[in-house]
Chains A and B, each alone.
Chain A
């Protein structure tokens, strides 16, 4: 979707003002700690995909997305998902009190502290087997389809319609445009490529020369040779 999250090339957002590396804490307040931990723990019991979580954050009003701090966006996404997955009701969220018992299966799916080390150190691969042969190979010229879906996608606006060269074939990975809709979507994958774009192709002839590499799935691309 063309949301407030798709920031590549946007102007007017101000200076970066980085905190000094040696002085920056991992979290800037206690509520950030809890928002982070609650998001990861809820993902286990809710069994939603990473793309569903991204899409929940993206579906805010762009003004809210841009005004919010980072963990405020996580919190907004988490609240949305908890409601949409039926784990809490809007009334419960407003009151902070449970109005109905949770079903036993979901309750038993809560993440325990003992499970945390393995959950984090194992991760979960996004690579998938596929019978489909890749359409492109390194060196091929490709154009990013000029597609504007209102659903989740990982083709940023700034590369749509632009031509680049396949740099690497990463094999097949879970396709965000379907995995954002639910866990069914993570069973299969689409071929994924690293695509190299010249700065002048993306930002015009006046751009200083450099290269931008973007990882793009095969359905985003068409041949441009």
Chain B
């Protein structure tokens, strides 16, 4: 990222523009700043990829739940109380030894908010959006993900209001693990499909 994080920098033009816009909208009674705070707080502190990790861990632990998730992801995910904006119509796509799924939104930044929160900066930026559909293996390599040549890649471009969650492969050597421990292996990136789930060797990194 080229953005500076130095807090001693003077406010940028954009920061001033946003500040002026907020004070105008508040003055006009169009926006309640406490509602803005609540919107931000929801996605900064309450809704994020730990939700999706619980869905994945449940699927790894419970074959009936996994079948339900693959058949009707919206209902299966709602049963864990993850619902709402940008997750109204969910699809889960399963990675196996022979199939690897990757999710992108080439036209904007569509992403399953209730299970993954707001998307990371790279997901919304032109390099990923341009190349995920045209060179998925090259994109995966940039995340350190090398797949055997015979693995079939499926790229999902979220052009409508369906939102895709990748169900990563369950790492080997996790038989008998609790859902809580399994959830720690389901990273955000593995649920977008740019990486595999963590393995035992890097579970604590």
Contact = CB atoms under 8 A, between A and B. Distances in A.
A6 B107 contact: yes
A30 interface: yes
Interface of A: 5-11, 13-19, 21-22, 24, 26-31, 33-38, 40-42, 45, 50, 54, 57, 66, 69-70, 72, 75, 78-79, 82, 87-88, 92-93, 96-98, 101-102, 106-107, 110-113, 115-117, 119-127, 154-156, 158, 170, 173-174, 176, 192, 194, 202-203, 208-217
A112 B35 contact: yes
A110 B30 contact: yes
A40 B39 contact: yes
Contacts of B124: 70
B80 interface: no
Interface in B61-112: 83-89, 106-109
B160 A170 contact: yes
A209 B136 CA distance: 10
23 contacts: A5-B107, A6-B106, A7-B106, A7-B129, A9-B134, A19-B120, A19-B121, A21-B189, A37-B36, A41-B32, A54-B107, A70-B125, A92-B24, A98-B27, A107-B28, A113-B34, A113-B35, A117-B42, A119-B85, A126-B88, A192-B160, A203-B134, A214-B157
Contact of A174 (B25, B161, B187): B161
Interface in B129-173: 129-131, 133-134, 136-137, 139, 142-143, 152-162
A15 B28 CA distance: 43
A10 B130 contact: yes
B44 interface: yes
B8 interface: no
B201 interface: no
B120 A7 contact: no
B39 A31 contact: no
Contacts of B22: 34, 38
A40 B136 CA distance: 32
Q: Which 5 A-B pairs have the closest CB atoms?
A: A37-B36, A96-B20, A215-B160, A8-B106, A210-B153
A28 B142 contact: no
Given A9-B134, A126-B161, 16 more contacts: A10-B126, A26-B44, A36-B118, A54-B107, A107-B30, A120-B47, A121-B83, A122-B83, A123-B85, A124-B88, A156-B107, A170-B89, A192-B160, A210-B154, A213-B157, A215-B158
Nearest to B104: A8
A90 B97 CA distance: 56
B159 A154 contact: yes
A216 B159 contact: yes
A31 B12 contact: yes
A183 B20 CA distance: 28
B43 interface: yes
A210 B136 contact: yes
B154 to A, nearest CB: 5
B29 interface: yes
Contact of A125 (B18, B88, B155): B88
B28 to A, nearest CB: 5
Given A9-B130, A10-B130, A31-B19, A88 B154 contact: no
A41 B89 contact: no
B136 to A, nearest CB: 6
A38 B12 CA distance: 18
A41 B18 CA distance: 14
Contact of A121 (B34, B84, B129): B84
